């Protein structure tokens, strides 16, 4: 199952994302990082964004939702060509 470091559940596999298509990539390894990334991302609209943001927020306090948050982040990043 998910690893927990300092109280934060981690994704089984990190997600590599950028802030713009073709930009420098960073690795997101837990729901809190994913939530922060989404809150700072230049694209903050639409149902894919909203779904990913909600999934990541929920997973910050419900570890049973960690992989759903990872999937939401990947779906968002792929939709906006931010998946590295």
From first to last of the 84 residues of the chain, give the pLDDT tens digit.
Answer: 344 444 579 999 999 999 999 899 999 999 999 999 999 999 999 999 999 999 999 999 999 999 999 999 999 999 999 999
Predicted confidence at residue 8, as pLDDT, reads 76
- Do 26 and 17 form a contact (C-beta atoms < 8 A)? yes
Predicted confidence at residue 7, as pLDDT, reads 59
The answer as to whether 25 is a domain residue is no
- Structural domain tally of the chain? 1
Which long-range contacts (C-beta less than 8 Å, at least 24 apart) are formed by 20-25? Answer: 20/82, 21/80, 21/81, 21/82, 25/84
pTM of the predicted model as reported, rounded to 2 decimal places: 0.88
The helix (run of H) or strand (run of E) holding residue 51 is helix 46-59
Q: Which domain holds residue 36?
A: 30-84
The answer as to whether 2 is a domain residue is no
The answer as to whether 75 is a domain residue is yes
Residues 17 and 75: their CA atoms lie apart, in Å, by 11
Predicted confidence at residue 1, as pLDDT, reads 39
- Do 13 and 73 form a contact (C-beta atoms < 8 A)? no
């Amino acid at each position: 199952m998910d690893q927990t470091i300092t109280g934060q559940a981690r994704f089984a596999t990190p997600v590599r994302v950028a802030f713009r298509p073709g930009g420098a990539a960073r690795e997101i390894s837990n729901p809190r990082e994913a939530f922060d990334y989404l809150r700072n991302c230049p694209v903050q609209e639409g149902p894919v964004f909203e779904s990913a943001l909600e999934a990541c927020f929920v997973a910050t306090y419900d570890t049973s939702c960690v992989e759903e948050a990872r999937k939401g982040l990947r779906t968002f990043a792929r939709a906006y060509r931010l998946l590295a």
